[in-house]
Amino acid sequence: MIMVGAMIAALWGIGAVMKAPHQARWTMIAILLVAVMVLQLVLPAGHPLRAATGGDARLWGLVIAFGFIVWGYRQLLRRLRARVAGNAAPVVASDTFSPTELDRYARHIMLREVGGPGQKALRNARVLVIGAGGLGAPALQYLAAAGVGTIGVIDDDLVENANLQRQVIHLDRNIGMPKVHSAAEAMTAQNPFVTVRPYHRRLEADIVGALFADYDLVLDGTDNFATRYLVNRTAVALGKPLIAAALTQWEGQISLYDPAHGTPCYACVFPIAPDAALVPSCAEAGVIGPLPGVIGAMMAVEAVKQITDAGQGLGGRLLIYDALYAQTRTIAIKPRADCPVCGAMG
């Protein structure tokens, strides 16, 4: 009996060290108990191994039966909880805030620059986030928490183990899941009062116009220049304000591009894509984990300011943050009259 208990403890300990799921550990213990039961039935009475493992098959029969009862009870509870969750009343939007919403957004409403009208503007806003990776993850989390009413997110990637060092909206259990669905799950779990629209596909020229037309504001957190230029051209053509950010290793940058209101567009500041060797990806050059959180949170702050018309945004200014040396600097940027994308607006 003591030997079997020691073996069970050893199996559980090895599973814990190897970070095996609880279900796998219980399975191994169940296999051990069945093997002990077989020994009790096969070996003759008085055999040393049979004596060391309890000496009576009925004892282990009771242990196994009790285990099945506990397992069945847990399965029944799980199904009942799932049924209750499935029958839960959906959150119904109304023209007024519910007591729960008022309490949730109280810290916003107390701000003079936001107040009730600003929070209502957030609820009525429709924001599209391109990319659910390093920059998109924190931006999406804070937009949902802030109560932005409709949030679209487009990305064609799946959650990978290497993402979890910085893309904090995704969980280990969601590895292999489309990033947009993983993000949507986290956002609605955090705030059921928002609507999340996940688009699991690549942003391409044939859909970008129709997609942007359905939103008031676009946040670009992509990691390649071809998509950034496509996003910029479309935003300019449709008159949509664009908050775009980028990062590498220890440094990030962010600005608001809104030529319809006098700012430069992205192509004014970055007219030509640099050589790929000069701007390696995060996979090639690395990136410090919290940096996307800093810049992605800045994107969310700028989005909230843009929606609520609070303070001064980053239109006409490029903010650069150097995490390694804890330095922040802002560079003035101006529209270019010869810009092929927005020059005609000047």
Q: Residue 282 catalytic?
A: yes
Work out the number of other CB atoms within 10 angstroms of the CB of residue 260: 14
Work out the number of other CB atoms within 10 angstroms of the CB of residue 192: 13
C-beta separation of 298 from 254 below 8 A: yes
SS3 for the chain is CHHHHHHHHHHHHHHHHCCCCHHHHHHHHHHHHHHHHHHHHHCCCCCHHHHHCCCCHHHHHHHHHHHHHHHHHHHHHHHHHHHHHHCCCCCCCCCCCCHHHHHHCHHHHCCCCCHHHHHHHHHHCEEEEECCCCCHHHHHHHHHHHCCCEEEEECCCECCHHHHHCCCCCCHHHCCCEHHHHHHHHHHHHCCCCEEEEECCCCCHHHHHHHHHCCCEEEECCCCHHHHHHHHHHHHHHCCCEEEEEEEECEEEEEEECHHHCCCCHHHHCCCCCCHHHCCCHHHHCECCCHHHHHHHHHHHHHHHHHHCCCCCCECEEEEEECCCCEEEEEECCCCCCCCCCHHHC
265, 268, 282, 342: the catalytic one is 282
C-beta separation of 268 from 236 below 8 A: no
C-beta separation of 32 from 11 below 8 A: yes
Q: Which residues does residue 328 pair with via DSSP β-bridges, in sequence order?
A: 321
Q: Between the CA atoms of 45, 50, 52 and 54, what dihedral angle is there, to the nearest 10 degrees?
A: -80
Cα(153)–Cα(193) distance, integer angstroms = 17
Q: Active-site residue numbers?
A: 282
